[in-house]
């Protein structure tokens, strides 16, 4: 799909933050965000940002080669994560980690990373990625 500035602007919250809805009634986080809690049916949901939490790696997959436009970050590691506080499952790319360093249970934290450059439109895209918490692996890079 062709990149569109109005669409990107409308969706900016989900690009730069992991926007979700938290249910004050049952305490669960609805992600992707929903106006009706999918756990208890409540409609009184509050904005919540999952990137306020650290997470642990549950499983992952390594993608070779990187898709077109993502060549800067090859290979690309996509992980299934569970946030530490609300135990919400999210899928996000990993950063600052080598494929052989990824392991189940590793604690990671969100960081805003440049993901691709659209030279034609003169735009640089950023998105949330997760990197190992400092000290969690021996060869951690900043
Ligand atoms: Zn609920």
pLDDT digits (tens, 9 = 90+) for 78-102: 999 999 999 999 999 999 999 999 9
Q: For residue 3, is it within any domain?
A: no
Q: Which pTM does this prediction carry?
A: 0.77
Q: Are residues 131 and 63 in the same domain?
A: yes
Residue 132 has what pLDDT? 96
Q: In what order do the strands lie in the sheet with 46-49?
A: 29-30, 19-22, 46-49
Ion ligand 1 residue ranges (Cβ < 5 Å)? 23, 25-26, 37, 39-40, 42
Ligand 1 centroid from CA 29, angstroms: 8
Residue that wins the pLDDT comparison between 106 and 118: 106
Q: Are residues 108 and 122 in the same domain?
A: yes
Q: Are residues 110 and 140 in the same domain?
A: yes
Q: For residue 82, is it within any domain?
A: yes
Total structural domains in the chain? 2
Instruction: Give the domain extent around 34.
Output: 12-51
Residue that wins the pLDDT comparison between 123 and 27: 27
Q: Are residues 59 and 123 in the same domain?
A: yes
Q: Are residues 95 and 47 in the same domain?
A: no
How large is the average pLDDT for residues 96-125? 87
CA distances from 57 to 34, 51, 74, 123 (A): 24, 14, 20, 31
d(CA 34, CA 15): 17
Secondary structure class of 5 (helix, strand, coil): helix
Closest CA to 51 of 138, 129, 124: 129
Q: For residue 1, is it within any domain?
A: no
Ligand 1 centroid from CA 16, angstroms: 25
Residue that wins the pLDDT comparison between 65 and 92: 92
d(CA 23, CA 132): 29
Residue 142 has what pLDDT? 45
Ligand 1 centroid from CA 24, angstroms: 7
Q: Are residues 41 and 69 in the same domain?
A: no
Q: Are residues 74 and 45 in the same domain?
A: no
């Amino acid at each position: 799909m062709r990149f569109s500035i109005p669409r990107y602007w409308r969706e900016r919250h989900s690009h730069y933050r992991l926007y979700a809805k938290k249910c004050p009634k049952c305490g669960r986080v609805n992600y992707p965000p929903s106006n009706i809690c999918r756990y208890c049916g409540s409609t009184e949901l509050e904005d919540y940002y999952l990137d306020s939490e650290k997470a642990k790696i549950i499983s992952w997959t390594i993608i070779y080669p990187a898709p077109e436009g993502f060549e800067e970050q090859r290979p690309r590691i996509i992980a299934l994560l569970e946030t530490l506080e609300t135990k919400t499952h999210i899928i996000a790319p990993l950063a600052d980690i080598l494929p052989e360093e990824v392991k189940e249970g590793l604690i990671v934290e969100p960081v805003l990373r440049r993901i691709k450059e659209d030279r034609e439109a003169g735009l640089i895209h950023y998105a949330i990625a997760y990197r190992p918490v400092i000290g969690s692996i021996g060869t951690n890079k900043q």
